[in-house]
Amino acid sequence: MKKNTIFTISAIVVLFLFLLYASHNFSAYNIRILNNVAIFLILAASYNLINGVTGQFSLEPNGFAAIGAYTAAILTLTPAQKSAMFIITPMVPWLQSVHMAFLPALIVAGLVTAFVGFILGFPVFRVRGDYLAIVTLGFGLTIRVVSNNTISITNGALGLKGIGNYTTLWWSWGWAVLAMIVIMRLINSEYGRAMKAVRDDEDAAIAMGINTFRVKMTAFVTSAFFEGVAGGLLAHLITTISPTLFTFFFTFNLLIIIVIGGLGSMTGTAIATVLVIWGSELLRFVEQPMHIFSLTIPGIPGMRMVIFAILLIIIMIFARDGLMGQKEFSWDSFFKFFKKNKKLAK
């Protein structure tokens, strides 16, 4: 086994030991934040695969997360719960009777979303650039309207309630680690290089004999699968979902994360996810009423988003490539950094 693989495995072990400690000693509030970080890590990493690595600027993750969340929730709810909840229009019978455990429900949610991604890919990848962003944005909006109006499947604007609170630290971080490993391995494969080639110059990639449609589709479907799973995890964390959860701001949050982390860098995404998700909890105090000496400032809800918007502007001016640019964290450069510092200390 290579040295770096051992380091990576030990880092994962350390992560899970930390989670073991956290699950016993942390407050419910902090555990909730940790779960959120993991789920947004899955979402952001898979979003970065299509946006940053393959360079196809798209705006659909809210749609994919919604499909995953609804699929997983419908599958884990018991038939009795469903018949109690669908008061306006009864649910479609075959969905009413279906019931699954958490893990198969998540996998089905991922597969359904991946399938939708596959179908969506055909019209989407006929266009490039700005048009691609517009088409995918349209898809994200459509999904919200559809989930609002297919009342016999989604219960419309009433949403789904009483979803089992199954998402533990183990589920969320287990999937996050799995998603990171799969995506990183994909990026470092022949296909991953082809994705980067498509990002740099699609025409040249075609001339090199790369089937660019298939490359883009692979990135899109992989991204859809994990976004679907993350949607399922999210549904079982907050236990109630409704169409209003999956607005464009959902996508916008992810966009902030991947831009801060660096388009095309997965480790950058991981750092940015922690910063943004955890940071937005830390920043809650700015929305409280404040007393500075004799000055009283009333609490302004939404102040946190203002701070993030300013942060985004600052990053766009001073560090356009984000925290990591397109680089990845690697053990070699990590140790090199420390060796250099040691030499300097001498």
Partner 1 sequence: MLKVKDLNVYYGVIHALKGIDFNVPENKIVTLIGSNGAGKSSTLKAVAGLVKPKGKISFLGHNIVGKRAYKITKQGLALVPEGRHVFVNLSITENLRMGAFGKKYSELKPLYKKAFDMFPILKERANQKAGTLSGGEQQMLALARALMSEPSLLMLDEPSLGLAPKIVAEVFDIIKSLNRGGMTILLVEQNAGLALKIADYAYVLENGAITLEGDAKSVLNNEQVRKSYLGEI
199, 216, 236, 304: which one binds partner 1 (CB under 8 A): 199
207, 295, 317, 344: which one binds partner 1 (CB under 8 A): 207
Residue 14 found at the interface with partner 1 (CB under 8 A): no
- In the stretch 172-191, what mask flags binding to partner 1 with x, by CB under 8 A? ------------------x-
> Can you state the angle between helices 61-76 and 212-238, rounded to 10 degrees?
50
Binders in 282-341 for partner 1, by CB under 8 A: 326
Residue 209 found at the interface with partner 1 (CB under 8 A): yes
Identify the CA nearest to 257 among candidates 241, 244, 268, 242: 268
Residue 99 found at the interface with partner 1 (CB under 8 A): no
122, 165, 200, 316: which one binds partner 1 (CB under 8 A): 200
Kindly report the backbone phi and psi dihedral angles of residue 6, in degrees, each rounded to the nearest multiple of 5, phi listed first: -65, -45
> Can you state the angle between helices 212-238 and 190-200, rounded to 10 degrees?
100
- In the stretch 251-290, what mask flags binding to partner 1 with x, by CB under 8 A? -------------x--------------------------
Identify the CA nearest to 226 among candidates 58, 54, 99, 49: 49
Give the binding-site size for partner 1 (rule: CB under 8 A): 20
Residue environment code for 96-128, b if the CB has 16+ CB neighbours within 10 A, otherwise e: beeebebeebbbbbbbbbbebbeebbeebbeee
Nearest residue (CB) to partner 1, 207 versus 295: 207
Residue 193 found at the interface with partner 1 (CB under 8 A): yes
Provide the 8-state DSSP code for 91: P
Please identify which residue in the block is written with the tokens 């790369």.
210
Distances (CA, A) of 217 to 17, 165, 196: 37, 33, 14
Residue 119 found at the interface with partner 1 (CB under 8 A): no
What span, in angstroms and rounded, lies between the C-alpha atoms of 106 and 71?
A: 8
What span, in angstroms and rounded, lies between the C-alpha atoms of 277 and 269?
A: 12
Contact segment (CB under 8 A) with partner 1 among 24-32, 165-173, 195-203, 294-302 equals 195-203
Nearest residue (CB) to partner 1, 197 versus 272: 197
Closest distance between partner 1 and the C-beta of residue 300, in Å? Answer: 41
Contact segment (CB under 8 A) with partner 1 among 10-18, 138-146, 196-204, 233-241 equals 196-204
Question: Do 118 and 110 contact (CB within 8 A), yes or no?
Answer: no
204, 282, 300, 307: which one binds partner 1 (CB under 8 A): 204
Question: Do 313 and 250 contact (CB within 8 A), yes or no?
Answer: no
Nearest residue (CB) to partner 1, 99 versus 196: 196
* Alpha carbon 183 to chain centroid, angstroms: 13
Residue 77 found at the interface with partner 1 (CB under 8 A): no
Instruction: Summarize as ranges the residues that interact with partner 1 (CB under 8 A).
Output: 190, 193-194, 196-197, 199-201, 203-212, 264, 326
